[in-house]
Amino acid sequence: MLAPEDCKRARARIKSCSGIGAIWAAAIPTGPKAMLNDEIIRLCVHFRLGLETNALEFCPHVSAEGVACEHICDRFGDHLLQCPSGGGYFIGHDTVCAEVADLAGGNEGIPGAAVDWKPKVDAWPRSTRGYEADVGLYYLPGLRDIYLDGVISLANPRSYPGCENKAGKVADLWARRKNAEHPVFDRSTGQRLQPFDFCALAFERHGYIAKETAALIRKLATLKANAFELDPSEEIRKWYTVLSCCVQRANAKVLRGDATPGQRSSVPPRLLSGNRDLALCGS
């Protein structure tokens, strides 16, 4: 019989595995973005089933200040995915933000869309994490410009009490937190503070996608489908599949103990070439 703590963990995992974010488990490998190699599949299936995924004794992560984490790892990899040093966090953040940027503003993205990968946004000073590079002011044809920032979190009852009782609680919580960090309207007067909107890219490690994030994915995928006269439902499915696989690749990289950065990596060159001039004159 499982201990009460293990029962909570199992319920949280099952709820977090639900929804469209778990589509990777049934994805047809139609292209590189929808493919997972055998090693990743093994790790992610073990992770999905709540089996042991980690053989490391000590955490390999390094903080932004260059301080190595000395925490002893658990056999399920929970610490690796939640390490306060930030290594796993950066891997998840950078991976999902870059994938969304490529889907929307890459060579095969939305016609006329551009992504300005900004190291800082003066509108939202980050006194505690000033070294971090927030990602993504998107210039979208026919829509208000939108700023995106991402997070991938683990639905762990120890960190988020109650997540074992409600699917998506952690992703939706982080979406609200991201919106609070990036206010677009004055809370007192309701007056618009920024000329652009904000949306959080909030995912749970097992796959669940925040409602706000899912709505944005549908909007952007539909915009592309309409531009190319594609079936919107199939394009939406494609985006869900690509992003679901993207999250699992990030999980696998952390779980297998790959060296992880202490701060965010630079923007992929493919997202800047040909888009930068358009981005700078977009709004």
Please give the C-alpha separations between residue 104 and each of 197, 220, 256, in angstroms, as whole numbers. Answer: 16, 7, 30
* Domain ranges within the chain, ordered by starting residue: 4-280
- What's the sign of the alpha-carbon dihedral 179, 261, 96, 106? positive
pLDDT, tens only, 174-185 = 999 999 989 999
Q: Looking at the predicted structure, is the pLDDT value of residue 127 above 80?
A: no
The pLDDT confidence band at residue 30, using thresholds 50, 70 and 90, is: confident
**What is the model's pTM?**
0.86
Torsion angles phi and psi, residue 166, rounded to 5: -145, 120
How large is the C-alpha radius of gyration of the chain? Answer: 19
Q: Looking at the predicted structure, is the pLDDT value of residue 117 above 90?
A: no
Count of other CB atoms within 10 angstroms of residue 135: 26
Separation between Cα atoms, residue 111 and residue 68, nearest integer Å: 44
Average pLDDT of span 26-39: 89
| Strand, coil or helix: 210 | coil
